[in-house]
Structure 1
Amino acid sequence: MSKDQPGSPALRLAAAIPRIRIAYLSMEIGLRPEMRTYGGGLGMLAGDSARAAADLEIPMVFVSLVSREGYLRQEIDEAGRQVEWPDPWDPEQWTEPLGAKVAVALEGREVWVRPWLYHVAGRLGFEAPVILLDTDLPENDPRDRTLTHRLYAGDHAWRLKQEAVLGIGGVRILRALGFDPDTFHMNEGHAALLALELLRHRPGDVQAVREQCIFTTHTPVEAGHDRFPWDVVERVLGSEVAVADLRTHCREDSLNMTRLALELSGFVNGVAKRHALTSARMFPGVRVRAITNGVHGPTWAAPSIAALYDRHLPDWRHEPEILVRADYLPDDAMWAAHEEARRALLAEVEARNGRRLSPDLALVGFARRMTGYKRPGLLFEDPDRLLAIHGRTPMAVLVAGKAHPADTGGKAAIHHIHQMAERLRGKLEVVFLEDYGMALGKLMTGGCDIWLNTPLPPMEASGTSGMKAALNGVLNLSVLDGWWLEGCVEGETGWAIGDGAGGALHGQDAAALFATLGDTVLPLYHGDRKRWIGMMKEAVSKLGSTFNAHRMMRRYATEAYLR
C-alpha cells in the first residue's frame, strides 16, 4: 500500500501523532491470528489493551517487535512430544513500512531498526497505531538481521539485544516518527531499557524519568524475571550505555530487568489484587498497586454469544458494564447460543484430530502455557478416580498449550498428558489440540462447558483465559489464585479448587479437584440444566461486566496515565 495514498495508514498516523501522549511497549502483542507477534497471555493482554484504547479513544501508541518467524509452531509427534518449528508471517500483507530508521549500538555495531505500522480500529472509528520494530535490513550485519525474527529465542546475549531494540530502539523510533509521549508504559520488564534512553535526554534527572514511566509486572515466579550477567551486558551494551551507571540502578550481581524497571518507574502495578500483594513481598519497599486485567469482549465472545448480546443488550460492545443485565437473558436463547459455539469447537476438534466427540459429553477445557507451576497434569493425578467420575457423569477433556523450547518440564508435561490420553483411550476422550493460538483460544473459551485452571498458589499472575470463558458463559473451576480470587462466587459464578492457600500440597489440590468436579460440577451439568444456565448467566453478569479491558484501561487512564 502506498504511504502517499490519501487516507493511507501513514497519512492517518501523521495526523494522529500530535495528540498521542502515551506509549505502551511490550515484547509481544496479539493483534490478529495471522500476525504471529505474540507468544501467550502477555501478548493477548497487550492486544486487548490496544483494542480497548482504540474503543475508548485513549491517545496511545503501541510498540512491539515484528517477530517475522513468530514464537513457535507446535507439532506433537507420534510419541506425544512437542516439536517446534518457525511460524512465519509476512508483514507486507498486514502492515505498512514507514520511512524512519534509527540505530542502536549492539556489540559495537550499528544495528538499524525500521518500523512497520498497523492500526487497531476502535468501535467508533478511532485508531490506535501499533509500531512493529524490524532489524531485517540490508544495511545490517547478517548476524543482526534476524534479531527480530523469533520471539523469545536465543541465549542471554540474543535476548538482551532484542530487549535493547525494543526499549532503546522503541523510544528512538517514536521520536524519529514525531511522537513526544508524556508517559511510557512498560508491559513487563523486557522494555526496561527505555528508561535509560529517557535518562540520556535528561542526564541525572532520575525523578523526571520516574514520573514518565509506568511498569506492569506479570511474573510472580522468580525464574521468570530476565537477568543478564554483567559481562554480557558490557559486551552487548557497552558502546551504547554507561554500564557503571546501569549498575547503580540495578544494584544486583546481574542486570535484573524487573529491578531496573522498578527503580526507574513512578507507578508500579500487578495484574490482580493477590498478584500485587505477592509482588510487593518479592520487592520490599516498592509500592505495588493492583489493576486487575480484563479482556476485550467483542474480540473474545463467540459469534453466537455476541449475536445474543447484540439482540438483548445493545451497546455491550462499547459499554461492557451492560452485561450486568445478562441475568435477564432468556434461558433457551442462552443455551442455544452456547450450543452453537460448542458445535463450532467440536467441528474444529474433528478437523484437527479426527475425533468426533459426542454432544452429550460435558467439555472440560484446559489451555495454558505448558509449564510446571500451571500443573497441567493435576487432572490426571488419579486416572482411576477420573474414570469413575466419567462413568457417572460423562465428559471429554480438551487440552492445549505450548511449552517454551527450553522448558524441559513443560515439554515433559505435554508428553505426560499424551501418555494419559493413550492410557484412557476407549474409556475417556482426552484430546490434545496442538498449536494453541488466538483462533483456537477463542473457540475453546467459547465452546467448552467447564474451564479448568490449576496453578500452584500464589504463582498465578492473573489468568485472562478464564475471563474469556466467563464472558461466554463458560463456568470456571479454578484454584483460588490470580483473578479468580476476586471473581469466584462459589456455586454462582463457578467453583473453587481448594482454599487458595499459598503452597498448598499438590495431593490436597488434586483431591479437591476430583471432589468438586465429581460431586458438584458434573452432576449439576447433567442433572439440572436450568440451574446450570442460571450460573452461566451469573458468570456473564458478574464477571463479564467487570473483568473486561474497558474497565482495565479506564483505570490505567485515571490512576496511572493522568497521575
Structure 2
Amino acid sequence: MKALRRFIVRPQLPDQLAPLGGLIRNLRWSWHSPSQDLFTDIDPELWQRLEGDPVKLLGAVSKDRLEQLAADPAFLERMHALDADLQAYLTAPRWYQQQTQLAGAQGAGELPAGIAYFSMEFGITEVLPNYSGGLGILAGDHLKSASDLGLPLVGVGLLYRFGYFWQSLSADGWQTEHYPAHDPQGLPLELVRAADGSELTVSVPMPGGREMTARIWRADVGRVPLLLLDTDIEANDDELRHTTDKLYGGDQNHRIKQELLLGIGGVRAVQAFNELNGRAPAEVFHMNEGHAGFLGLTRMRELHAERGLSWGEALAAVRAGTVFTTHTPVPAGIDRFPTDLVRHYFDPDEQGNSRLLPGLPVADMLALGAEDDPDRFNMAHMGFRTAQRANGVAKLHGAVSREMFADLYPGFDTAEVPIGSVTNGVHLPTWAAREMYQVAGDMSGWQDLASADEWPYADRVDNERIWTLRNTLRSRLVQMARRVVKKSWLQRGATEVELGWTDTVLDPEILTIGFARRVSTYKRLTLMLRDPERLKRILLDPERPVQMVIAGKAHPADDGGKRFMQEMVRFADDPEIRHRILFLPDYDMGMASVLCAGADVWLNNPIRPQEASGTSGMKAALNGVLNLSISDGWWDELYDGRDGWTIPTSGVADENRRDDLEAAALYDLVESRVVPLFYDRQDGRPDGWLDMIRHTLSYLGPRVQATRMVRDYVQGYYGPAARAVHAFGPDLAGTKEFAAWQHAVRAAWPQVRVMHVDTSGVGQDPSLGNVMTVRAYLDLAGLTEKDVLVQVVTGTVDGNEELSDTALVDMTYVGNGDGHRFQADVPLERSGPIGYTVRVVPANPHLASVAEMGLVTTASADAQPR
C-alpha cells in the first residue's frame, strides 16, 4: 500500500542537547572533523548507514539514545565545546575584517559591506544534492572559503526538488538516470520567514498577467547564508511549480524561467533577506556564469523606478558593482536563447517597454544579449555588457576568453579585451583527507591555513610518514571501489553468487591512476583506449602493474558522452582486466573525496585549450597525488616540472591523428617515467616519488586553495567594484554625470579623427637607442583633451603593414593650434621592421578599461605628416 502523502518528523531534542541542533543546522560540520566525530558517536552504525547525514541521523536515532546522551557528561562537554567553537568561528574577526581595517588605515578605499554571489548550482555536501559537477563544487568551495575568510557574502541559487540525477548502468553499460525527489524538510535547510512569521516569498511577473512566486530556503554555510528559491508551492500553477524541478532539465522555455527566477527573483530575495536580518545591502553582485545574467536588468529597473535614472545611467551604476565569471572555453557551452523567446518573457507593451521589468525598453534589453545571429540572445554577452569586471578561471582560460569574445571590442588587440583571470581553487578542509590536513598544518607551521601564502616547512614531514599515509588513502579507495563495483553489477542484473571476484578487484599495493570528471567530448574519457592492447599490457605488467579507477556522469541529453562511457565500461568489463580497471557509477562529492585522495596519479587529458580550469586535479594535489595532465586549465600555469608530468600536445588539426599522438605520449609517460619512479624502492619506499609528493604539497598546497582564489577576487574584483560604486556618491550624482559623458562621447566619436602625424629625432637611418618624437594633431569633434587618451602604438610590422607584438606609449597634450596637439617620445628598443600608428580611446576615471566602451580611432593612411 502506497502512502498518499509523506513528510518528515523532526525529533524533539532534550533540552540538554539543544546546541546539537545548531551544530547540525550549520553546514560547517561538513568540513569540520570534530563535529563529524561528535555526530558519529551518537550512533556509529546509523551514521555509516546514513552516509554521514546528521539530519537523517537525528530522524532515525531512538529517543532512548538521545536521553542517554543527554545524561552523558563527556558527550555534553564535547558538544558545548564545539558549540562555543562554532560561535567563535561565526563572530570573531577574520582575514576580511583585517583587510577592511588595513584598507581604511592606508586610505586605499573601502571593501564592500555586502556581496551577493549567484550560481545555478552549489555543491556544499552530498547531504544537500543541489549540484551536478565542477561549476557547483566551485561555487560551494567559494562560499566555504568566503566564510573562512569572513566575507560579508550571501549565496543565491535555486532549490531543485529532484536535483541532478543519480546514475546507474544498464547490463550493456549504458548510463541510466534516476531522479529521486528531495523533501526540503529532510535537508539541512530552514524556511526564511518574514517578521510576522509567514513564509518570505519573491515573485517574478510572467506573460499573460501571471506571477511566478518562490519561497526562500536558507542553508548556513559557516558564516555565509545560502538562499535557495523554490517554486514548488500552491501559489503557482502546475507549469510554474515545476520551474525548480530539475537542475539543467527541460527545454529552453523551462531553462529561461529558471534563469529569470535566479536573476530577478534572486536579487529580490537578497534584498528582502538583508533588510529582514539587518545586514548591509549588497554593493557587489557576482555572477558565476551567465545563468544569473538577468540580475543586472532587475537592478536597473529598481534604479529607474526608485532613483529616476535613465537607461544609460542605470546601466552605468549596475556595471560598476557587477562581476562576471565565465567558465566556458567553447561557444557551444554558452546559454543562447531564441530572441523571440526572450522578447516573449520581457513582454513589451504598446510603447515598447517591458511588463516584466516596467519602464525598461525591450529593444535596449535585447541589445545587451545581441550577437552576430540576430535570432539568438547570448547570456554571456549580457554578462559582459552588464559587468564592468569579468574574468576567466585560469590564466590560459582568461587568454582563451579574450580571444573568444574579442568581437565585442572591435578595434582592440586581443590582449586588451577587458577579461582578466582568477584561477580556481578548492577548499582545503573539505577535500584534504584528515591525515593530509595535519600534514598541511605541519608544512605551514600551523598558520591560519585559510590565509597562508606559503607552506615553508615541508622538511618537517618525513618520507615514512608520507608513504604510510599514501598507503592508507589508497587502501580506502580500494575498499570503496569494491563496494561500489559490486553494487553496480547487482544493479546491472548480476547475482551475488557471480560476484565473488569483486571482493578482490584492485590491489592496495600497486600504482593507482584516477580519472573522474563530467563525461563530455572535450574531456576525452576514452583517449586512454586509443591503443587498447598497449593499455592492457600496462595494466597487466607482471613486475610493475598499474590499476585505474574511473568515474563520471554524462549529461542526460548527451548521447555522445554516453557512448564514450559505454565504451569505457565495456572495456573495463573484460574478465581479463576487470581487476585492474573499474568504472564507478554515480560519482558525487562523497566518492570524489575518497577517489581524489586515494589515487597515486590524477589523469586529465582534455583537448587543449578547452578545459577552463579542471579543479579535480587540485583536490588530488592537496592529498599528495601527482598530476599527469595535458597543459590546460590550472595545470598550464602551475606545473613546474617537479609536481607531476605534462602530456605533450601535438598541435595537429586532424582530430584522429591528434588523439593517436597524444594517447601515445600518455602511454610513453606512464611506461617510461611514472611507473619506474613509483616502483624504484629504497628500504621499501619510493623515495624519489615521495620527494615529488612533498614538493607538490608544499608548492601547490597554498596555490590551489579556494581561500587564495577568494582573496584574489576581493583584491582584484570585489574591492575595485566597491570603490567604483562609492565613487558615484550616495546620491548617484556621479552616475548621472558619467552616463551623460558616455552619451556625449558616443555621439561625437564618429567625427573624432587623427588629422596629422609627424615624427622627428630618428633621421634617415634609425637605430637602437634612438628616441623618436611623435606628434599628433586631432579633431576631437567638440570633446576636450581630458575626454581622451592618445597613444603611440609601436610593433613589428609585416608585409601587409599589420602590427604585432605591440607596445603603447601615452601621449601628452601640448596645446591647441591646428587641432588638439599631442606629443610623445618613443625610444627604439628593438630592431627589425618596426611600424607605428596613433590611436585615440575614451578616458574617464570611472572606466575600468580603455576597451570598455568599445570605441577606438586610429590614424588612417591620409593622416599625413604636416
TM-score band (shorter)?
Answer: over 0.9
Q: Which residue of 2 aligns with 1:295?
A: 426
Residues 327 and 534 of structure 1 are in contact (CA less than 8 Å); yes or no, is this contact kept in structure 2?
A: no
Q: Which residue of 2 aligns with 1:245?
A: 364
Structure 1: segments with no counterpart, 5+ residues:
122-126
Question: Counterpart of 2:383 in structure 1: which amino acid?
Answer: A
1:318 aligns with 2:450: yes
Change (3 A) 1:115 1:501: farther
The number of equivalent residue pairs is 551
Superposed CA RMSD: 2.3
Q: Which residue of 1 aligns with 2:438?
A: 307
Instruction: Give, in angstroms, the shift of residue 320 of structure 1.
Output: 4.4
Distance in 2, Cα, partners of 1:518 & 1:106: 60
Instruction: Give, in angstroms, the shift of residue 323 of structure 1.
Output: 3.1
1:341 aligns with 2:473: yes
Instruction: Give, in angstroms, the shift of residue 150 of structure 1.
Output: 0.8
Distance in 2, Cα, partners of 1:362 & 1:160: 47
Change (3 A) 1:257 1:427: closer
1:94 aligns with 2:188: yes
1:105 to 188, 205, 212: 205
Distance in 2, Cα, partners of 1:67 & 1:552: 28
Q: Which residue of 2 aligns with 1:219?
A: 328
Q: Which residue of 2 aligns with 1:145?
A: 241
Instruction: Give, in angstroms, the shift of residue 20 of structure 1.
Output: 5.0
Question: Counterpart of 1:245 in structure 2: which amino acid?
Answer: D
Instruction: Give, in angstroms, the shift of residue 314 of structure 1.
Output: 2.1
Instruction: Give, in angstroms, the shift of residue 342 of structure 1.
Output: 1.4
Secondary structure, in 3 states, of the residue corresponding to 1:115?
Answer: strand
Q: Which residue of 1 aligns with 2:718?
A: 561
Q: Within 5 A, what are the aligned runs for 1:366-405?
A: 366-390=515-539, 391=541, 393-405=544-556
Distance in 2, Cα, partners of 1:260 & 1:500: 35
Instruction: Give, in angstroms, the shift of residue 542 of structure 1.
Output: 1.0
Structure 1, residues 460-515: CA drift from partner, whole Å, max 9, x if none? 1001000111111000000000000112122x100000048596822221111111
Residues 442 and 461 of structure 2 are in contact (CA less than 8 Å); yes or no, is this contact kept in structure 1?
A: no
Secondary structure, in 3 states, of the residue corresponding to 2:715?
Answer: helix
Secondary structure, in 3 states, of the residue corresponding to 1:146?
Answer: helix
1:72 aligns with 2:157: no
Q: Which residue of 1 aligns with 2:342?
A: 233
Structure 2: segments with no counterpart, 5+ residues:
1-9, 13-17, 27-86, 93-111, 194-199, 305-310, 348-354, 410-416, 487-501, 721-866
Distance in 1, Cα, partners of 2:389 & 2:459: 37
Change (3 A) 1:168 1:502: farther
1:210 aligns with 2:312: no
1:193 aligns with 2:294: yes
Question: Counterpart of 1:366 in structure 2: which amino acid?
Answer: F
Q: Which has the higher contact order (CA 8 A, sep 6+)?
A: 1
Secondary structure, in 3 states, of the residue corresponding to 2:244?
Answer: coil
Change (3 A) 1:91 1:79: same
Question: Counterpart of 1:219 in structure 2: which amino acid?
Answer: T
Q: Within 5 A, what are the aligned runs for 1:48-67?
A: 48-67=141-160
Instruction: Give, in angstroms, the shift of residue 201 of structure 1.
Output: 1.6
Instruction: Give, in angstroms, the shift of residue 389 of structure 1.
Output: 2.3
Change (3 A) 1:98 1:497: same
Distance in 2, Cα, partners of 1:546 & 1:427: 37
TM value normalised by structure 2: 0.61
Q: Which residue of 1 aligns with 2:589?
A: 438
Q: Which residue of 1 aligns with 2:708?
A: 551
Moved more, 263-272 or 233-242: 233-242
Q: Within 5 A, what are the aligned runs for 1:410-429?
A: 410-423=561-574, 425-426=576-577, 429=580
Moved more, 497-506 or 71-80: 497-506
Residues 233 and 243 of structure 1 are in contact (CA less than 8 Å); yes or no, is this contact kept in structure 2?
A: no
Instruction: Give, in angstroms, the shift of residue 424 of structure 1.
Output: 6.4
Change (3 A) 1:144 1:512: same
Secondary structure, in 3 states, of the residue corresponding to 2:163?
Answer: coil
Secondary structure, in 3 states, of the residue corresponding to 1:321?
Answer: coil
Instruction: Give, in angstroms, the shift of residue 448 of structure 1.
Output: 0.4
Change (3 A) 1:324 1:132: farther
Residues 451 and 708 of structure 2 are in contact (CA less than 8 Å); yes or no, is this contact kept in structure 1?
A: no
Q: Which residue of 2 aligns with 1:351?
A: 483
Instruction: Give, in angstroms, the shift of residue 522 of structure 1.
Output: 1.2
Residues 325 and 392 of structure 2 are in contact (CA less than 8 Å); yes or no, is this contact kept in structure 1?
A: yes
Residues 440 and 697 of structure 2 are in contact (CA less than 8 Å); yes or no, is this contact kept in structure 1?
A: no
Change (3 A) 1:383 1:327: farther
Moved more, 524-533 or 213-222: 524-533
1:493 aligns with 2:602: no
Distance in 1, Cα, partners of 2:441 & 2:708: 20
Residues 52 and 550 of structure 1 are in contact (CA less than 8 Å); yes or no, is this contact kept in structure 2?
A: yes
